[in-house]
Amino acid sequence: MAKRSSKRLIITFDDLPLQEAIRKLFEDSEFVRTESLLIEEEGREWVLQKIIANLPRECIGKYRFERILLSVNQFRKLNREHLKKRLIILEHARKMTVSECFYRNKIGTECSSEVDLDRVKPGKRGGEYTVENTVLSCSKHNRQRGCKEVVEFWRQ
């Protein structure tokens, strides 16, 4: 991953409700994916209203407008591979009451705040990024697990 582009790829567990609202926005038939939409004031207003309408009640007011618009822009620029991963992350998050790392409280170390996708069957053994082969994990535990089997990692 290039260092220059990696910053916009990092999302935290705290970002997930906003990311989900953005995903819904991109499904909106009225949403035009042009740069001008975010540059013109009218377009910005429309985007903000839609996002706020898509956010869960308890998250309204949680995100600053600049952060919302920046996140919409970053989401739009995701390449196909990263978009696929982002959509899998959000699919996992939708199924959870509380979105948190799969390894939280299962091993001795604290979680980090960044969201990652951990492949149950690791990439080195041909495991792919699919909903079935992944769990939500923080980036720290994803790194720590490496190529260990999930159960082997728990027992540490």
113, 138 Cβ separation under 8 angstroms: yes
Residue type, 115: V
124, 147 Cβ separation under 8 angstroms: yes
Residue of 9, 91, 20 lying closest to 55 (CA atoms) = 20
Q: In whole angstroms, what is the distance from residue 73 CA to residue 75 CA?
A: 5
| Residue 150: CB minimum distance to Zn ion, A | 13
Binding of Zn ion by 141 (CB under 5 A): yes
Q: With contacts defined by CB under 5 A, how many residues of the chain interact with Zn ion?
A: 5
| Contact pattern for Zn ion over residues 92 through 111, marking x by CB under 5 A | ---------x-x-------x
Binding of Zn ion by 115 (CB under 5 A): no
Binding of Zn ion by 13 (CB under 5 A): no
Binding of Zn ion by 138 (CB under 5 A): yes
Give residues in contact with Zn ion (CB under 5 A).
Answer: 101, 103, 111, 138, 141
